[in-house]
């Protein structure tokens, strides 16, 4: 359920709408532009009271809707639900963004306290028989509704209620409530333990000589990270979320590489207070039990029934169809890397911590491409302004103007106002950029919302992109690998999916689409990082001003397909692992997480110590707290759409306003107002051709 208030989001509104004390910033809608959170006045002590009153108000509003004496109609039932819960929406958006980007011990305590209460609050709504009866009545009469978006909303509400247990018997609903409450506690604990262990396992280096191979920017970042923890005179290599750490390709000292790799794969698997194995086993069992209560054989069946894939068989068929080619490709790459070691370092056997480093040397030899040299041409500010924002202007005609008058939750965060064209009277929304890593931020990269678009609420979107780029010392440039550049474009794809949303009802707005479709726009935008016009503007040597040589651009493009065996194998192994955990039958007992993981990978044909899954079970945050349970395959599924969609753009003239307008109209603006694959086909002009994906990855 989403909250709403009728007002212009660009105009202030000071009238209080809650029983909270007036000095609580959540007591009324933010008076800032677009209702963006007033982080200069929000304090930790404001959250719990706002959650308490917000849940009470929301539930009271729902009870009024459910008890309405008038016959159920679209307006007095579904539209009323879409309007309800404004306070809860405000506090949730601010709070849960901060727990991911800049958490504190107190915020973690609040999250642990509030998570089960929010789960119970949701159950009180979704399991309300009187309310469901009204929703079902509107759904049954949906053919009489005035427009396709209203019919779509009726279908989504009905489906969501049923998937939350509205049709279950009272005793089964009670058990469902218990499962949801316990699951919320466990996922919160998983997040806390992973954050803590990732911090604890950061590798401390005493001697700069052990960092040989890193450029000055990376060494500076490691030094600053150490100083931030009081480790003066030392260097700290913080860990990224995946198993394979990006820094491994540059570290020349093998022992340092080994330390980093072993720290990465040991996360939450050391038998200490941060171990997550007990949480994983409980979560998998609870999800299987919940699926059975709702009438599904497994959790995977439950999840995929509401995705574009439809069934676990469809997912496993896709994964199985690609696995042999991927494994063959990866083993061929391993043989090539071992041959290089045999020639350069006789007697050295390729180890997991060597793979990226040796691959980088082979890549250099084959393509004459030095990744550290490439980084010198990609300075963060230049990539942002002359790359990302230039692409947005050329493709969509939008202008991004930085604002310094809006409060942010951390000094590293920046805010940009987005306009259609250059006209200040055509505002679209706000774009927050939070790119630097810190101990208070979880790993990875993602997009989220502070305010969701809705014409019903008269709300314009406020979105945020988050990354974990190492911050150099004061005065040093932030230099990006090309992987980090493409990640910026990826997350901006999510961002414009939220910014360009033009939907009436918030339940259907922006990125509220199936998991295996939401990654389509983001992966679609990755390829624009290679556009010659983009590179000509943003790829400039940070010291000399020299543009990235044309031959180096070609090398980057050709080298992009190098190592796809490794990249594809670590990804598909994680996807298989996700499916294995969530294909457990109700009552199945897992008494050894490591053995279960090993056997699952062996059965799928992807078990190989040289290439561990991109995420091992104990730190697989995408699927335990992250919402991608039985859905990690979605990146590959969506990449097929993205590859074919981008091929369409190239066929029609490349990065121009006509193609941008077509994509914005067919996909980005539509939210979930239509069937996802139909939206893709409306843009592409035909059904999906998966051959574009194989060509993109160099597997065909």
Q: Which residues pair with 260 in a beta bridge?
A: none
Pairing of strands 427-436, 235-237: unpaired
- Name 346's Cβ contacts closer than 8 Å, sequence gap at least 6: none
Q: Which uninterrupted H or E stretch holds 340?
A: helix 312-344
Quote the Cα angle for 688-692-698, to 5°: 155
Q: Nearest to residue 469, comparing CAs of 437, 446, 439?
A: 437
d(CA 403, CA 294): 48
- Name 440's Cβ contacts closer than 8 Å, sequence gap at least 6: 101, 102, 103, 104
Residue 520 token pair: 């389509």
Residue 399 token pair: 């202008």
The three-state secondary structure class of 49 is helix
Pairing of strands 414-420, 446-451: unpaired
Considering Cα of 23, then 28, then 33, then 39, what sign does the dihedral take? positive
Task: Based on the residue annotation, tell me whether 551 is a catalytic residue of this protein.
Answer: no
Considering Cα of 673, then 674, then 676, then 682, what sign does the dihedral take? negative
The three-state secondary structure class of 434 is strand
Pairing of strands 414-420, 427-436: antiparallel
Question: Active-site residue among 82, 192, 491, 526?
Answer: 491
615, 574 contact by CB (below 8 A): yes
Considering Cα of 252, then 255, then 260, then 265, what sign does the dihedral take? positive
The three-state secondary structure class of 653 is coil
Active site residues: 491
């Amino acid at each position: 359920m989403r909250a709403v208030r009728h007002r212009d989001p660009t105009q202030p509104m000071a009238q209080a709408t809650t029983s909270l004390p007036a000095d609580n910033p959540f007591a009324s809608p933010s008076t800032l532009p677009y209702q963006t959170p007033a982080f200069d006045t929000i304090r930790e002590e404001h959250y719990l009271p706002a959650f308490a009153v917000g849940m009470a108000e929301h539930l009271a509003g729902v009870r009024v809707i459910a008890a309405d004496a008038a016959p159920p109609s679209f307006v007095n039932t579904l539209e009323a639900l879409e309007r309800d819960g404004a306070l809860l929406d405000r506090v949730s958006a601010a709070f849960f963004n901060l727990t991911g980007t800049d958490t504190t011990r107190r915020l973690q305590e609040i999250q642990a306290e509030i998570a089960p209460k929010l789960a119970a609050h949701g159950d009180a709504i979704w399991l309300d028989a009187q309310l469901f009866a009204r929703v079902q009545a509107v759904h049954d009469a949906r053919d009489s509704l005035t427009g396709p978006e209203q019919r779509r909303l009726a279908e989504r509400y009905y489906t969501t209620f049923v998937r939350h247990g509205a049709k279950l018997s009272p005793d089964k609903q009670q058990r469902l409530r218990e499962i949801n409450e316990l699951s919320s506690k466990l996922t919160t604990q998983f997040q806390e333990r992973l954050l803590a262990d990732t911090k604890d396992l950061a590798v401390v280096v005493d001697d700069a000589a052990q960092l040989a191979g890193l450029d000055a920017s990376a060494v500076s970042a490691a030094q600053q990270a150490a100083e931030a923890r009081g480790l003066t005179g030392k260097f700290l290599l913080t860990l990224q979320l995946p198993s394979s750490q990006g820094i491994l390709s540059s570290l020349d000292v093998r022992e340092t590489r080994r330390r980093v790799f072993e720290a990465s794969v040991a996360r939450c698997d050391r038998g200490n207070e941060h171990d997550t194995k007990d949480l994983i086993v409980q979560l998998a069992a609870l999800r299987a039990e919940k699926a059975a209560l709702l009438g599904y054989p497994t959790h995977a069946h439950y999840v995929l029934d509401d995705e574009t894939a439809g069934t676990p068989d469809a997912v496993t068929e896709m994964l199985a169809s690609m696995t042999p080619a991927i494994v063959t490709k990866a083993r061929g790459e391993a043989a090539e890397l071992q041959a290089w070691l045999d020639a350069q370092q006789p007697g050295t056997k390729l180890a997991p911590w060597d793979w990226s480093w040796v691959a980088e040397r082979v890549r250099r030899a084959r393509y004459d491409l030095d990744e550290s040299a490439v980084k010198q041409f990609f300075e963060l500010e230049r990539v942002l302004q002359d790359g990302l924002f230039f692409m947005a202007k050329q493709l969509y005609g939008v202008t991004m103007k930085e604002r310094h008058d809006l409060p942010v939750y951390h000094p590293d965060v920046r805010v940009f106002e987005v306009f259609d064209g250059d006209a200040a009277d055509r505002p679209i929304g706000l774009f927050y950029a939070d790119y630097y890593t810190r101990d208070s931020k979880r790993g990875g990269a993602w997009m989220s919302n502070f305010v969701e678009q809705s014409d019903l609420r008269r709300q314009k979107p406020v979105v945020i992109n988050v990354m974990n780029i190492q911050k150099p010392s004061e005065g040093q440039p932030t230099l990006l690998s090309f992987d980090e550049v493409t990640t910026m474009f990826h997350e901006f794809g999510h961002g414009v999916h939220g910014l360009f949303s033009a939907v009436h009802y918030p339940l259907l707005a922006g990125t509220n689409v199936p998991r295996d479709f939401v990654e389509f726009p983001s992966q679609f935008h990755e390829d624009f990082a290679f556009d010659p016009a983009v590179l000509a503007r943003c790829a400039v040597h940070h010291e000399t001003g020299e543009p990235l040589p044309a031959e180096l651009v070609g090398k980057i493009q050709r080298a992009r397909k190098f190592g796809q065996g490794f990249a594809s194998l670590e990804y598909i192994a994680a996807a298989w692992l996700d499916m294995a955990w969530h294909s457990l039958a109700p009552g199945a007992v897992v008494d050894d997480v490591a053995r279960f993981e090993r056997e699952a990978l062996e059965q799928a044909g992807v078990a190989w110590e040289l290439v561990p899954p991109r995420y091992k079970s104990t730190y697989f945050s995408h699927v335990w707290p992250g919402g991608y349970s039985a859905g990690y395959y979605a990146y590959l599924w969506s990449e097929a759409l993205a590859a074919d969609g981008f091929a369409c753009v190239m066929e029609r003239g490349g990065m121009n306003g006509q193609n941008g307008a077509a994509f914005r109209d067919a996909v980005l603006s539509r939210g979930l107002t239509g069937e996802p694959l139909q939206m893709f086909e409306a843009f592409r002009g035909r059904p999906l051709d998966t051959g574009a994906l194989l060509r993109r990855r160099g597997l065909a």
